[in-house]
Amino acid sequence: MDIERARRPGGSVRTRVRGMIGTAAGLAVLAACGAPSSTRDVSAEAKAACKVSVSSATTVNVLAMSAPALDPFTDAMVKGCSGSKNLTVKHTPVDFTGQIQKAQLALSSKGASPYDLVEVYNGTLTEYASKGWLVPLDDYIAKYRDTYKLDDIPDKTWKGFSYKGKVYGIPNQINSQVLIYRKDLFAKHGITPPTTYDELVSAAKKLKGDSGAKYPLAMVWGADDALADGFHGWLTTEGGSWFDGKGEPAFNSDKGVEAVERMRGLMPYMPAEALTYNNGDVMALMQQGQVAMTVIWASRAGSINDPDSSKVAGKVGFAPAPAGAGDGVPTGEISQDGFAIAKNSAADPETLFQIMASTTTDPAVMRKAATLAIPSRDSVLEDRQAAQPHWPAAVQSIEHGATTLPGVPYMEPLTKTVINPYLDKALTGRLPAKEALDQAAAELRRTLKAKGYLG
């Protein structure tokens, strides 16, 4: 997720779709009504929602990176439940790398975890659940279904936070990568939002040299993590796969080579430092008017139209991420975010569930976070006052078949850690695309065998 990872999580769309499929046109109408800007301060709403109390002094520690789309939900637990009878909820912000590293150490510990609640997305939830590090939530969901109106979160959303038939997290948002573009520059050059790779390149050529933006394009392709997410979109747009039916690496196929070559074809239109950029870097360039278009997580879109932080407020449009060709699926990725309970937490798991469910899924909290996060609740997604201009593009990306990363326990961070350096070498011309992917596949195969994932 976004988030500072351009994350992400193939084949099937495991994120929520019921309540969204067929609603893009309706959302466009709602968004056009000019939904008011929402503030990130959810303190009042969260305090009203949290009715959790415990019999003795209890401190709950939350592990979550700081990012615009996540902060309101972390704050909801901290500000909403701290002060409840005998209960204190604490959180020290970390970056994405810190969250991943600390989660691995804490959850794998044989002793009590220093963190009780952990932020997860599809990829990390699958990994942690496969290792037995998380508490299954099905019994609590059944018990508190009516209390917290959990049926308002669609079944497919719960399935996206499941592993081998059990739910391991509470999703508070969905995310999809979308195209954000400068409407004024597109109109100037007679460009319509690109729907294919060729149209994307054509648009970039027309925009190159325009004084209105220094760079036609920027992508979140940081080689430390996000590069594999960019590759995922171009790999899967026309049917390429990360793995075959036996779990063997398959990304070094002709589709994989084509994906790398397409990515290389976009590099001349991007800043020289493109392979170092995370989500925040790219959005800063967009907000300063330095970039004419980008494909980025929808959760980053709220700030682009904020006149207090963006020089291009009111000048941007949103569209589904382009496909490879006309019959391909969008190159944008899909992800979900939420929180899970550490199995080795010393705190009562039912109390932890109540803290999560009462605050992070509260409709009023979700409405306040609407500019930053696409809600997991149907009722909020369909709320005229909450609707945002970027929601229709995100929904259309999902409707048109954009995918998550593969739901295998070795996708993140293992596969991404192996392949990213080779993608970097291919995109910078240090290795031919086929050679780079073959080397990456061979190294990953050895690693998966050594770790027992492959026979």
The 3 state secondary structure assigned to the chain is: CCCCCCCCCCCCCCCCCCCCCCCHHHHHHHHHCCCCCCCCCCHHHHHHHCCCCCCCCEEEEEECECCCCCHHHHHHHHHHHECECCEEEEECCECHHHHHHHHHHHHHCCCCCCCCEEEEEHHHHHHHHHCCCECCCHHHHHHCCCCCCHHHCCHHHHHHCEECCEECCEEEEEEEEEEEEEHHHHHHCCCCCCCCHHHHHHHHHHHCCCCCCCECCEECCCCCCCHHHHHHHHHHCCCCCCECCCCCECCCCHHHHHHHHHHHHHHHHCCCCHHHCCHHHHHHHHHCCCECEEEEEHHHHHHHHCCCCCCCCCCEEEEECCECCCCCCECCEEEEEEEEEECCCCCCHHHHHHHHHHHHCCHHHHHHCCCCCEECCHHHHCCCCCCCCCHHHHHHHHHCCCECCCCCCCHHHHHHHHHHHHHHHHHCCCCCHHHHHHHHHHHHHHHHHHCCCCC
Distance of alpha carbon 422 from alpha carbon 436, whole angstroms: 5
Distance of alpha carbon 295 from alpha carbon 312, whole angstroms: 17
What is the predicted pLDDT for the residue at 35?
38
Cβ neighbors of 317 (< 8 A, separation 6 or more) are 180, 181, 182, 183, 186, 193
pTM of the model: 0.84
What is the predicted pLDDT for the residue at 6?
38
What is the predicted pLDDT for the residue at 2?
47
Q: Which residues of 238-273 are buried (b: 16+ CB within 10 A; e: fewer)?
A: bebbbbeeebebbbbbebbbbbbebbeebbebbbee
Query: Which structure tokens are listed for 82?
Result: 């701290």
Beta-ladder partners of 218? 294
Q: Residue 39 region, left (φ>0) first, then alpha (ψ -120 to 50), else beta?
A: beta
Which phi and psi angles does 159 have, rounded to 5°? -65, -35
Contact 200, 224 (CB under 8 A): no
What is the predicted pLDDT for the residue at 430?
98
Which phi and psi angles does 435 have, rounded to 5°? -65, -40
What is the predicted pLDDT for the residue at 76?
97
What is the predicted pLDDT for the residue at 48?
96
- Of 393, 250, 265, 251, the closest CA to residue 322 belongs to 393
Cβ neighbors of 186 (< 8 A, separation 6 or more) are 192, 193, 203, 292, 317
Query: Which structure tokens are listed for 169?
Result: 């997290």
29 by Cβ neighbours in 10 Å (0-12 / 13-18 / 19+) ranks as: exposed
159 by Cβ neighbours in 10 Å (0-12 / 13-18 / 19+) ranks as: middle
Cβ neighbors of 1 (< 8 A, separation 6 or more) are 7, 8, 69, 121, 175, 297, 299, 335, 337
Distance of alpha carbon 17 from alpha carbon 30, whole angstroms: 18
What is the predicted pLDDT for the residue at 34?
37
Contact 169, 161 (CB under 8 A): yes
Query: Which structure tokens are listed for 280?
Result: 């925040």
Cβ neighbors of 142 (< 8 A, separation 6 or more) are none
pLDDT in tens, the chain (455 residues): 444 443 333 222 333 333 333 344 444 434 443 333 334 799 999 999 999 989 999 999 999 999 888 999 999 999 999 988 899 999 999 998 899 999 999 999 999 999 999 999 999 999 999 999 999 999 999 999 999 999 999 998 999 999 999 999 999 999 999 999 999 999 999 999 999 999 999 999 999 999 999 999 999 999 877 999 999 999 999 899 999 999 999 999 999 999 999 999 999 999 999 999 999 899 999 999 999 999 999 988 888 988 999 999 999 999 999 999 988 899 989 999 999 999 999 999 999 999 999 999 999 999 999 888 899 999 998 998 888 999 999 989 988 999 999 989 999 889 999 999 999 999 999 999 999 999 999 999 999 999 999 98
What is the predicted pLDDT for the residue at 299?
86
Distance of alpha carbon 79 from alpha carbon 43, whole angstroms: 6
